[in-house]
């Protein structure tokens, strides 16, 4: 963003595709953190942030001297796209904007009309290439892969949930340690069954649904359709953009080709 709006080093703004396993917190963690950072970047560099999520959008106007900030919710995605296109093109160089698209229920890929030639854009998505592959071809988008949490991350979150409400001056009692230990045992058991995915291990309802989904996926493996699964179960297969990988595998970045 600095290279585009301040240093003017880029021919066009960057488009980034942030890819992660469903359930790791792309919306509630990455999306929310990114929005907060954008609205406070360089003391309020941006005028507008457009956030597309589910079947609607939010257009956030940053505060300016004498003008309070505001948030406008839109239920029609196409109408919102037209609005920000007009805003970006008609006020080029005057309105500094940023676009966030959270791919989930509501739409399958970003709108082709988004003004990515004028405003930087970030797309949050699962590894399903149907959500971004054709859309990013003409935009020279950069792929950013987000790892799943490991057990240490989730164990730390379990402790934080218990400790944060108590305040900084609260002491750690034997009873509190037991509560944390018992809660971690429950979470660890869920991790062993559905993987280290916060959405599913910290919600009893989501865990139950995910467990049934995985159980059904494994039960559906037969002699006729087992081939795509065998490489995964032997841990020797790369990510496949189909139902096989999405049901049974977590996405993890690895470094290859390094000496030693």
Q: pLDDT tens-digit profile of 26-35?
A: 887 888 899 9
For residue 258, is it within any domain? no
Is 39 a residue whose pLDDT tops 60? yes
Percent of the chain with pLDDT over 90: 38
What average pLDDT is seen over the chain? 84
Dist CA 150 CA 230 (whole Å): 24
Q: pLDDT tens-digit profile of 168-219?
A: 777 788 999 999 999 999 999 999 988 888 999 999 999 999 889 888 877 8
- For residues 121 and 171, membership in a common domain is answered with no
Task: With cut-offs at 50, 70 and 90, classify the pLDDT of residue 81.
Answer: very high
pLDDT of residue 61: 93
Task: With cut-offs at 50, 70 and 90, classify the pLDDT of residue 80.
Answer: very high
- For residues 187 and 201, membership in a common domain is answered with yes
Q: How many domains does the chain have?
A: 3
- For residues 67 and 159, membership in a common domain is answered with no
- For residues 138 and 164, membership in a common domain is answered with no
Dist CA 49 CA 210 (whole Å): 33
For residue 260, is it within any domain? no
Q: pLDDT tens-digit profile of 209-257?
A: 988 988 887 787 777 777 766 666 665 555 554 555 555 556 566 666 5
Task: With cut-offs at 50, 70 and 90, classify the pLDDT of residue 260.
Answer: very low
For residue 189, is it within any domain? yes
- For residues 129 and 17, membership in a common domain is answered with yes
The pLDDT of 107-112, averaged and rounded, is: 83
- For residues 187 and 227, membership in a common domain is answered with no
Q: Which residue has the higher pLDDT, 241 or 152?
A: 152
For residue 99, is it within any domain? yes
Dist CA 74 CA 141 (whole Å): 26
Is 72 a residue whose pLDDT tops 70? yes
Task: With cut-offs at 50, 70 and 90, classify the pLDDT of residue 108.
Answer: confident
pLDDT of residue 253: 61
What does the block give as tokens for 162?
């218990």
- For residues 125 and 238, membership in a common domain is answered with no
* Tokens 């505060």 found at: 63
Residues near 190 by Cβ (< 8 Å), separated by ≥ 6? 200, 201, 207
| Total residue count of the chain as it appears in this document | 260
Is 258 a residue whose pLDDT tops 60? no
For residue 259, is it within any domain? no
Domain final position from 110, 145, 180: 145
- For residues 79 and 13, membership in a common domain is answered with yes
For residue 66, is it within any domain? yes
- For residues 158 and 136, membership in a common domain is answered with no
- For residues 100 and 133, membership in a common domain is answered with yes
Structural domain of 182: 151-219
Torsion sign (Cα): 19, 23, 29, 31: positive
- For residues 7 and 42, membership in a common domain is answered with yes
For residue 212, is it within any domain? yes
For residue 213, is it within any domain? yes
- For residues 140 and 15, membership in a common domain is answered with yes
Task: Report phi then psi at 112, rounded to 5.
Answer: -70, -15
């Amino acid at each position: 963003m600095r290279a585009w709006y301040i240093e003017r080093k880029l021919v066009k703004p960057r488009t980034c595709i942030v890819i992660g396993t469903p359930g790791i917190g792309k919306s509630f963690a990455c999306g929310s953190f990114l929005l907060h950072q954008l609205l406070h970047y360089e003391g309020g560099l941006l005028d507008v942030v457009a956030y597309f999520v589910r079947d609607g959008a939010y257009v956030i106007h940053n505060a300016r001297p004498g003008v309070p900030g505001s948030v406008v919710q839109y239920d029609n995605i196409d109408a919102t796209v037209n609005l920000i296109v007009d805003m970006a093109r008609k006020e080029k160089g005057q309105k500094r904007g940023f676009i966030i698209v959270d791919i989930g229920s509501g739409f399958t890929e970003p709108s082709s009309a988004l003004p990515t030639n004028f405003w930087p854009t970030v797309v949050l998505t699962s590894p399903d290439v149907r959500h971004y592959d054709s859309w990013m071809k003409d935009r020279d988008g950069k792929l950013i892969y987000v790892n799943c949490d490991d057990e240490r991350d989730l164990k730390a979150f379990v402790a934080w949930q218990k400790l944060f409400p108590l305040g900084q001056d609260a002491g750690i009692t034997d009873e509190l340690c037991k509560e944390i230990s018992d809660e971690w045992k429950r979470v660890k058991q869920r991790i062993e069954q559905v993987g280290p995915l916060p959405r599913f291990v910290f919600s009893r309802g989501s865990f139950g649904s995910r467990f049934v989904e995985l159980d059904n996926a494994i039960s559906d493996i037969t002699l006729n359709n087992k081939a795509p699964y065998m490489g995964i179960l032997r841990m020797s297969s790369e990510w496949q953009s189909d139902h096989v990988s999405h049901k049974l595998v977590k996405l993890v970045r690895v470094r290859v080709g390094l000496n030693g």
